[in-house]
Chains A and B, each alone.
Chain A
Amino acid sequence: MSRPAARQIRQGLALAVLAAGVALALYSLGALSDDLRKLDRKTADLATLKRLAADWRSSQQALAPFEALATQQPPSLTELAAKTLPGITPNIRQRESQAAANGWLARRMELKFDAPSAVLGNFLAAAEAARPPWRLVEFDLVAGVPTPDTVRATFLLEALEKK
């Protein structure tokens, strides 16, 4: 092969490599915003999944203290009322129940009674100190019924129990 021909081949090769490099660079630059958007979306999706996983783990952690309880049945409200509301017999009515994880049940009870306002705190403190606890969800108090010194109280309480 003559020297000019060899030179032309070398130059042609160099130009071809340069053209390929430029073409690839242009293609990469052209697709850059799309590619980065895809990466951003995937990174954001991964962050969302990690957040969901963290929430999920946090929710699962809330289950642990209940599973660890020696008794998984809340105390009777009638008994609690008898101890903390002397001389008062609440009208107790079972409300809706909701199935929870691991065979637990969220049970709601409505209590209606008339009592001096000073003793309401005793009852509620005892209910929340129980294990599993009775938790006050809703309440309605009407003062001066039936006597000026008493309150007509309606409490909606919820407790978790294992079936």
Chain B
Amino acid sequence: MASSSIPRCRAAYGADLGRRRLVLVRAERGGAITTLWNSNANAVQLKAASTEIAAGHALLAAALPATEGFARWIETPLVTADKALKVLPALLDVQLPFPLETCLYAFSSLHAGADHNFRAFACAARRNDVEARLAQHRELGLDPALLTHEGLVLWRQALAEIPLAPKTLRVVAYLGDGRTTLAVGSGTDGGALISLHGIRLGADELAAPDAPAVRQWAGRVNQLLRALPADANGEAIQWLWCGPGADVTAPLEAALAQGDRVRFKPLAGPDLFLARALALAALAGESAGQLRNGDLTHPVLLAHVETGRRRTTLNLLVAGGALLALGLGWQIWLQRTNERLQTELLAQAQQLTGTANIPYGQEIPTVQRALKQRTAELQPFSDALAPSATRDLAVCLAAAHECRVTLETLTHSGKSLLIRGATDDWNRCDPLAARLRALGYAIDLSREEAGVDELVRFTLKGTRR
């Protein structure tokens, strides 16, 4: 998992420093991997790389040998991650052969096991050993920002390069000039690391077939293989060689008592493998097993963390400022809009009433009171321009004539109209009523049955709507 405490550079260097030999590779974000040094460490000249690393444009990652460190799964009895993280150092302290205070340590792969209890993989090393390892690099002009337990990067890079089938067991064996590192795991859960081991015997001691060192090495490894669970599928244990000594492994393969249970295979570019793994892990911001921490943390990482903090602070400040600006802006707009509307209201009211002193919020009633009297005085003028009752009279008379209805009385007062009349047909009043409805009257028509004169008498009441 990428860590926010590691800067994302466009390139990273991986340094695999052995007893006499240095392998240095450069990995770029585009995927290009260049070998810068793969030779004796005495005459190393890496000016361009040093400049790039010193300028902070690239990270340098180095390995802490497994022989110098301690690596183990720590089981906690806790089912919550936060609490588990708090007790992990104490649980590690119990298992370390040295006081925890004299060590540097890192936890990774925190997860809940099948029993729901949290477990994490712990890497630790004595502070003196970490400082000594850094000093070895500094003697060559290298100051690694990351010093990672090599077992972890070996295991992860091997998984990345050669995926592992579930339930298959794998041993990634790094053979350096002065050490052997073994990363043991299975394909369960996408490749679960079981254990890391370091043996202080390397290619220098193990090159001769009958050397006592080979028997000693084989004894350690056989013990380790015997402890591995039997493979359910009956498949052989996958053994991947890497490291500068990967070309002199024949005596070692022959010496393993359980050689028939193991299928040996070299990784591609085995001598560059650890350096490549370190560089790619650094490029990905991988911080698992990173033991250069605490007060030994590289200034580049400290500066990166400080930059991150400053950026976070700045983001908070900008977000707060934006909220403040928005809030204040809204309040100011609200107040100004209110004031503008109030000013307009007051000006309108003053103009309509001719009064300067109008109480706040009383503009409408004040104007209505003031206009009521004046509107009443103007009403006769408006009425005079509106259609008069003459129009209704003309319509009534014309309609009565057209409908052959005889009108007896015709009265119009205010909004009401009353017509009484007679006709020789029951239906003749209907067109008259329709004409009056068209003038805007609501009509109520009542008719009586024809009398001895055979005339239908009717009353038509209209009310102006």
Contact = CB atoms under 8 A, between A and B. Distances in A.
A60 B349 contact: no
Contacts of B367: 49, 52
Nearest to B329: A28
Interface string B335-349: 001100110110011
A66 B381 contact: yes
Contact of A11 (B313, B328, B342): B313
A38 interface: yes
Contacts of A135: 383-384, 388, 390
Interface string B371-394: 100110111111111001110011
A48 B411 contact: no
B372 to A, nearest CB: 10
Contacts of A119: none
Contacts of A33: none
Interface in B389-425: 389-390, 393-394, 397, 406-414
Interface in B312-371: 313-314, 316-317, 319-324, 326-328, 330-331, 334, 337-338, 341-342, 344-345, 348-349, 351-352, 363-364, 367-368, 371
Nearest to B324: A21
A139 B394 contact: no
B378 A63 contact: yes
A126 to B, nearest CB: 11
A136 to B, nearest CB: 4
B378 A100 contact: yes
A134 to B, nearest CB: 9
B29 interface: no
A50 B349 CA distance: 9
Contacts of B377: 99-101
A76 B426 CA distance: 45
Given A59-B382, A117-B397, A139 B338 contact: no
Given A24-B327, A39-B334, A59 B411 contact: no
A17 B320 contact: yes
A138 B348 contact: no
A18 B322 CA distance: 9
**Among B326, B363, B368, B380: residue with most chain A CB under 10 A:** B380
A144 B364 CA distance: 55
Contacts, number: 175
A88 interface: no
A42 B344 CA distance: 10
A72 B306 CA distance: 94
Contacts of A43: 341
A48 B408 CA distance: 48
Majority SS at the chain B contact face: helix
Question: Chain A: interface secondary structure?
Answer: helix
Query: What is the size category of the interface that chain B forms with chain A?
Result: 35 or more
A137 to B, nearest CB: 6
Nearest to B368: A52
Contacts of B412: 138-140
Contacts of A160: 380-381, 384
A21 B321 contact: yes
Interface in A7-61: 7, 10-11, 13-22, 24-25, 27-28, 35, 38-39, 42-43, 45-46, 48-50, 52-53, 55-56, 58-60
B378 A49 contact: no
B309 interface: yes
Interface in B142-201: none
Given A50-B348, A65-B385, A136-B388, A25 B323 contact: yes
A130 B371 CA distance: 31
Contacts of A128: 388, 390
B388 to A, nearest CB: 4
Contact of B322 (A21, A27, A49, A53): A21
B364 A48 contact: yes
Given A100-B381, A139-B393, A18 B323 contact: yes
Contacts of B413: 138, 140
Given A53-B348, A141-B407, A141-B410, A62 B317 contact: no
A62 B384 CA distance: 8
A117 B371 CA distance: 43
Given A21-B319, A106-B380, A140-B410, 10 more contacts: A18-B317, A20-B320, A21-B326, A24-B327, A24-B328, A42-B341, A62-B381, A101-B381, A117-B397, A128-B390
Interface of B: 306, 309-310, 313-314, 316-317, 319-324, 326-328, 330-331, 334, 337-338, 341-342, 344-345, 348-349, 351-352, 363-364, 367-368, 371, 374-375, 377-385, 388-390, 393-394, 397, 406-414
